[in-house]
Each structure stands twice: as structure tokens, then as C-alpha cells.
A and B are shown apart, each in its own frame.
Chain A
């Protein structure tokens, strides 16, 4: 296993300095997957949550979970899924105000160009008399994924932990999965975008990066972050705590600040899955847009014109439609 040298930007922190060269075993405490090898990413932000790790010197020590990073797993490894896990996402529509921090963090984390969004924020209004609401939409990581069924080369696959990934080394770019997905989740690299070059690490389907021209990609539930006990970029970036991420079997979801019992949350707040009628069995649940903290129009505030223009064609009436 290669030890990746990270630039230590905080020389005062002796513990971190000590760790930067050392391999740490046992970072799996938080992710429940036994012994794994991790290293410290000094550029990352601390979450305040400590995990116990075992250094190569045989010492047990506590480090901030936010700083732990794993080398990207290989393509073969990425097929398996994280043992004993079944991931789920809950999105609270009552709290979303189209701040778009989820989109930005996701694009930055996955080195995506402006035109590729793994998570999109829609402005929906189901019918004329119903209330409009903001609708963040990642990949639903369906349990009955049509995109996986139709792929002619097995480039997209469903793992034991519920995550649907794409291997862009295998993908031939036929785009059948894009027509197969009823949620317009997948994006295509219509050319080589300069952002792809920003990522210097080797490609892994778990990171969905670096992207590749002529292949399909999409939201991946950030398994590379999940492996070190972090929640996906979108969930941790949301200032309103709209996006909860967690595990169905552990029955826990968290948005980084608050943690809920998944089943209780869905029960109490009448959680539902989008377009249940299609039979795709999504792993993303929505909490209806009730008890709203923001007016829907506040989603247009401080947005540049390009974003506002997107919602021009939204059907029905929104009071202060852009």
C-alpha cells in the first residue's frame, strides 16, 4: 500500500505531523469494516468527531475523523461494496431553499465541470393548486435499477451495500442507461473537460473521478468518503441540513449535525420515495415539504441569472416567478 505524502499545513500540530508519514491501521472503527489502511489528509477539515486508530508503530491513538483518508480502491475492489452496509439517503424538502451548496460541493469533490451536476435542484409543483418546492435530486441508487439491467457491458453495477456505481474504464458510452433511468440522473462527458485534469489520483469508480470523455457518470453516494466515516459532499455541505445519509440496517441517518433513527424519521414525517409507481425501488427517501423554514421564492435570492433562468419554464404559478 502506498503512503501518500500530504503537505502539512499545520506544523504546530505535532500529533498530525507525527501521523502524516505513518500508516494507520484500524480506521474502520467508524465504518465497521475491520482493518483498513488509511492516511491523514491534512488539508481536510476537522469534524470534531474522534476515532481510535492503530498506527504502524502499534500505538492506539485518537484522530479527527474528518482528516482520515483512504487510498482509492481498485476497480475490482469497487465491485464488492462495503461489507454489512446498506446505504440510504433522506432529503427533507421542508428545509431546502435552493442554496445550491450541495451542487457546488459535489462538483468540487468530484472534479466536475459546471455543466455536469450529479445532484440537481429542481423547482417542482405537482399541480396547479399545490405548493411549489425545491427538490434536490441525487442518484436514487435504486434496488431495481433499470440502468444496470440495460448496460451491455456491465459498466454500471449494483453493489451489496446498495450503491450503484459506474466504471468509466468499462463504459463504452452507448447512453442506454441514460434513457433507462427515468429520473434523468446520469450525465455524459460530451468532451474532455479541463476539470477532469485537476484530479491527480488514479481513477476509481468509488470516486467517479477523474472523468473521461465519452463516458457516463452520476452521483455515487461518495463511498470513498463513507469508507472513512464521512457523509457525502452534498450532505455535509448543506447549510440547512437537508440531506441525511445513513444505513438502513443500523437504522440511522445523519446530516452531520443531527442524527435520527431512520425508520422513526420516515414514520413520523411521512417519508416517501419519488415516483414509487415506476417500481425502481429507490434508496432515497423524501420528507414532504411541510412546516417550511423558507419561502420558496427565497431560492432565487443571490442566485446568478443563469440559475434563475432555469426555472422560467416551470409550470403553474409561483408568486414571484423569475
Chain B
């Protein structure tokens, strides 16, 4: 193929240099969604948290679900790219940067959602000034800030070679400030053997570190729920369960991103069916684990059930039955079928499955958070409907949409700053070597 003989930057530079009309429309659309979210946020600040659907029983709603969700997909990068890097997986190159972008962007958005739950944002700094190490929230603050820091370094190390190439690429048609920025950010990297050696070593260390940090962060997140005595939360399995659910949702988001960027930037030559199947298989394995953990958790709650577990299970199978079926049956079985059966294993099918998995995992978190809060030890004796059952208001939905929009916007902007596929040492995939198919 003729592509192989060219400098890959010749192929990828236009991605950075030009933004199409559709690109601008897309960005404006995202900004409008974010704007609506911002208006909703102002409503919440000025009118109080009463504008949300949360009340004294369901004190955490969609916000905390989004928090868990975004923190979850952020592990796509941490665990998947870290692991692929350490095992020197041959096919990882075209997808690894997307995974790292997912990590860092989701990691920046996730904590914003927990801030929306906080009643006194003006006193947020108390978390640092008066932080108590006994509280799992303090663990979370420490873990998440470490994670953001670690993932930033990992991402930076992995884009360093590309930034140096962009700096050296003379045909690049970009404003001078961008070129200067590349110059500064490349830290004088020229690719000498010594630099190569050091960079590889640093990347290896960080890859191992982000895997460990990611596991800690998600376990801590799970412990926020499982250290309480609430039926449905007070479970020893929650730490590993949340870690698996997180990577699972991350692998699905990665597939969706691969599909989108493959279309938008015409990367068909680089991201092939092989990559979809490879990440699809990761998703399949994680689906199996996730299904196993889910089953194990609910089986023990149901089989030897205490009264309140019983009430919770009843609630899950009555009021939340379609959410339960969708997240814990469809969300588990679909990847097993679609990726497991060779005939069904097409790019489109895998992508559709991934979209469903993402939605299922969001709902999975919803039915972890809300039904438990709706079935406390003492029955909720209320005459007001909104105090009896939680239902998110337009404020919460707008801010949820804004969170997704910020994710898309930052992803779009990041793909305008460095190439979405690492160009250093890039090879065009030969379609014949699709061993997995």
C-alpha cells in the first residue's frame, strides 16, 4: 500500500490543521448543551438543591451515578492501555491513545458530578483543611487526585514522541503559537538512544503505576457505599465488583470511540476489524467477569436474605425490573453472544453492543444507588410523592447531558491537538493478518 511509504504525519496533519463545517457545527452544538447545563447549575446554586429530584431518603441520585460512570470509563485507559503497554501487545498502537484520552477526560469530568451533590460548594476547601483520614471521602480525594496526576504523566509520556515529531514536521500549517507550544512541550526530545531508553523506562513504570492507582481509586469509590450499613451496599464484593464494572464500561466506550474516530478521520486503514475484535474480546471477558460478580452478589443477597435484602430484591424485580433486566441480563449476555459467535462479529455489531453495554452499565450504577436509598431499614412513611420515590429533574438531566457534551468536546479538542493515533513508529495494518477472526 502506498500509505506505508509516506510520513504518517502527511496523512494525519490535516486532522490537526483543518476543521470542517460539520466539525464546527458539532462544537457549537456541544457548547449549547454545555450552556444549558450551566444554566441548570446556576438554578441549583441560586434556588438550592430542591430543584433536583433528591430528597432526604434518596440523597444521592443521578449525579453520583454519573460520577461512578465517568470514573468507571476512565479506567479504559488506565487498565486497558496500561496492560496492553506492559504486555507489548502488537495491535495496541492505533487504539492506545484513544484509551488514554478517555481516561484523562473522564477523570476530569467524574469528580465534577460529585461536586454537584455537595450542598456547600463554598466550603469545599474544608475537605483539605479539615480532612479526616477516617472518612472514605478523604480516601477518595487522595486517590482521585493521585490518579489524575498519574494519568496525566502517563498520557504525556506517551504523546511526547509525537509532539517532538509535530515540532519537527516542517509542512505543518498551524499558527505559530501552536508550533511554539509543541516546541516547549516536547522537552527537547530528539530520540537519542539515551532519551529512548529513559522514556521507555518511565512509560513502563507509569503504566504499572496507573494500573495500581486505578484499582485503588475504584475500590475506594466502592467502599464509599459498602462501608455503610445500607442493605444492598454493605457487601464485601463491592470493591472488585466496581473495578470489573469500571473496566468493562471503559472497554465499551473505547469501542464506541474507535468507531467514531474511524469514521470521522477516515482511519479505516489503521483501525481495522482486527482491533474491534481484539477490544471486543476484552469486553467479552470482562462481561463474563461482570456477570459472575453481579450474579454472586445478588445470589447471596437473595438466597439467605435478611428482611431488608428481601425488600430490596422485591423492589429491584418490581419497580426497577426493566432496568435490572437491561443492565444485568442484556448488558452481560449480549457481548457474550455478539463477540462470542464468529458470524455475528462485525464492526457494526460490536459497536452496537458496546453502546448497549455503556447504557447498561450506567443503569447498573443507577440500580445500585437508588433502590437501596429507597428501601432503608425504617420504612419511608411519606405522603409527598417526590419524597417517596426518586425521579431526576430536568436540572439533573441537563447537567448529565452537559457532562457527556464536555466529554465529547474535550475529546474533539484533544484530537485537534495531537493525532488520535500515535504516529511514531506507526505501521499500516495488513488486513490479512487478522488472526483473531
Contacts and interface: CB of A to CB of B under 8 A. Distances in A.
B137 A182 contact: no
B127 A172 contact: yes
Interface string B22-55: 0000000000000000000000000111100011
Interface of A: 115, 120, 122-124, 137, 146, 149-154, 170-176, 178-180, 182-184, 186-192, 213-216, 275, 278, 280, 305-307, 309-315
Contact of A190 (B50, B120, B378): B50
Contacts of B50: 190-191
A314 B379 contact: yes
Grouping DSSP codes into helix (H, G, I), strand (E, B) and loop, the B interface class, with mixed when no group exceeds half, is loop
A191 B381 contact: no
Given A184-B378, A189-B119, 18 more contacts: A122-B379, A149-B134, A153-B126, A172-B120, A174-B117, A175-B119, A176-B137, A176-B224, A179-B228, A184-B56, A184-B376, A186-B56, A188-B49, A191-B50, A216-B119, A278-B377, A280-B229, A310-B382
Nearest to A123: B381
Given A152-B138, A182-B377, A215 B49 contact: no
A56 B180 CA distance: 78
Task: Report which residue of A137, A173, A216, A307 has the largest number of chain B beta carbons within 10 angstroms of its beta carbon.
Answer: A173
B271 interface: no
Contacts of B126: 153, 170, 172
20 contacts: A137-B378, A152-B141, A154-B132, A170-B123, A170-B126, A170-B130, A171-B119, A172-B123, A172-B124, A179-B230, A180-B228, A180-B229, A182-B376, A184-B56, A190-B55, A214-B120, A215-B119, A278-B229, A280-B229, A306-B383
Contacts of B413: none
A190 B54 CA distance: 9
Contacts of B376: 182, 184
A120 B228 CA distance: 22
Interface string B134-155: 1111100100000000000000
A311 B116 CA distance: 33
A289 to B, nearest CB: 16
Contact of A150 (B47, B130, B228, B383): B228
Contact of B48 (A123, A192, A280, A313): A192
A138 to B, nearest CB: 12
Contacts of B141: 152
Contact of A213 (B48, B123, B135, B378): B48
Contacts of B380: 184
Contact of A315 (B49, B56, B131, B379): B379
B48 A191 contact: yes
Contacts of B54: 190
A313 B48 CA distance: 30
Contacts of A280: 229
Nearest to B229: A182
Nearest to B369: A179
Nearest to A186: B56
Contact of B49 (A123, A171, A180, A190): A190
Contacts of B382: 310
Contacts of A172: 118-120, 123-124, 126-127
Nearest to B54: A190
Interface residues of B, number: 45
B257 interface: no
Nearest to A275: B377
Contacts of A188: 49, 56, 59, 119
Task: Report which residue of A123, A149, A171, A214 has the largest number of chain B beta carbons within 10 angstroms of its beta carbon.
Answer: A214
A247 B406 CA distance: 56
Given A152-B127, A183-B378, A190-B49, A309 B383 contact: yes
Contacts of B60: 175, 179
A192 B120 CA distance: 12
A117 B56 CA distance: 11
Nearest to B372: A179
B312 interface: no
Contacts of A179: 59-60, 225, 228, 230, 233, 373
A184 B132 CA distance: 23
Nearest to A277: B306
Nearest to A315: B379
A175 B131 contact: no
B228 A173 contact: no
B47 to A, nearest CB: 7
A165 to B, nearest CB: 16
Task: Report which residue of A120, A152, A187, A275 has the largest number of chain B beta carbons within 10 angstroms of its beta carbon.
Answer: A152
Contacts of B131: 152-153
Contact of B130 (A153, A176, A182, A187): A153
A311 B381 CA distance: 6
Contacts of B83: none
A150 B135 contact: yes
A13 B376 CA distance: 52
A190 B49 CA distance: 5
B379 A175 contact: no
Contacts of A306: 383
B59 A314 contact: no
A189 to B, nearest CB: 7
B373 A149 contact: no
Contact of A215 (B56, B120, B137, B224): B120
B230 to A, nearest CB: 6
Contacts of A313: 379, 381, 388
Contacts of A120: 381
Nearest to A187: B56
Nearest to B140: A152
Contacts of A182: 228-230, 376-377
A2 to B, nearest CB: 28
A154 B130 contact: yes
Contact of A184 (B48, B57, B117): B57
Interface string B334-351: 000000000000000000
A88 B365 CA distance: 40
Contacts of B381: 120, 122-123, 310-311, 313-314
Contacts of A173: 118-120, 123
B135 A151 contact: yes
B377 A184 contact: yes
B404 interface: no
A195 B117 CA distance: 24
Given A137-B378, A172-B124, A191-B49, A150 B59 contact: no
